[in-house]
């Protein structure tokens, strides 16, 4: 019998609720920087990755990161995907 592995956060999300999980377990992004990058035409996932990679506060650094990682677009998964819970 095959055992399915689940992320550690699934049980915590069940116990504390989705709102707690979103507020405390997910990265918090600089909304102003995120908005500026999206206004330039970049997708939200790419913008979030760029902000995480560059300190989450400098639009110019994040933009340079995006330009340097344009070829990664097809290989990158979302930063967070909701776990499938039975």
CATH code assigned at 64: 1.10.8.10
- Asked if the structure places residue 65 within a domain, the reply is yes
pLDDT in tens, 7-64: 556 677 677 776 776 676 668 889 999 999 999 998 888 898 899 999 998 999 999 9
pTM comes to 0.61
Inside any domain, residue 56? yes
The answer as to whether 8 is a domain residue is: no
Task: Look up the domain containing 39 and give its range.
Answer: 29-77
State the DSSP code for 66: H
Domain count, the chain: 1
Examine residue 22 and state whether it is found in any structural domain, yes or no.
Answer: no
Alpha-carbon dihedral 7, 66, 56, 84, rounded to 10 degrees: -20
Inside any domain, residue 9: no
> Does some domain include residue 17?
no
| Residue 83 near residue 6, CB atoms below 8 Å | yes
């Amino acid at each position: 019998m095959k055992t399915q592995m689940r992320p550690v956060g699934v049980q915590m999300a069940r116990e504390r609720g989705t709102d707690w999980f979103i507020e405390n377990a997910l990265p918090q992004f600089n909304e102003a920087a995120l908005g500026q990058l999206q206004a330039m035409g970049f997708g939200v996932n790419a913008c979030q990755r760029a902000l995480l990679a560059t300190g989450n506060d400098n639009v110019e650094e994040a933009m340079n990161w995006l330009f340097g990682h344009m070829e990664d677009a097809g290989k990158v998964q979302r930063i967070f995907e909701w776990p499938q819970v039975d």
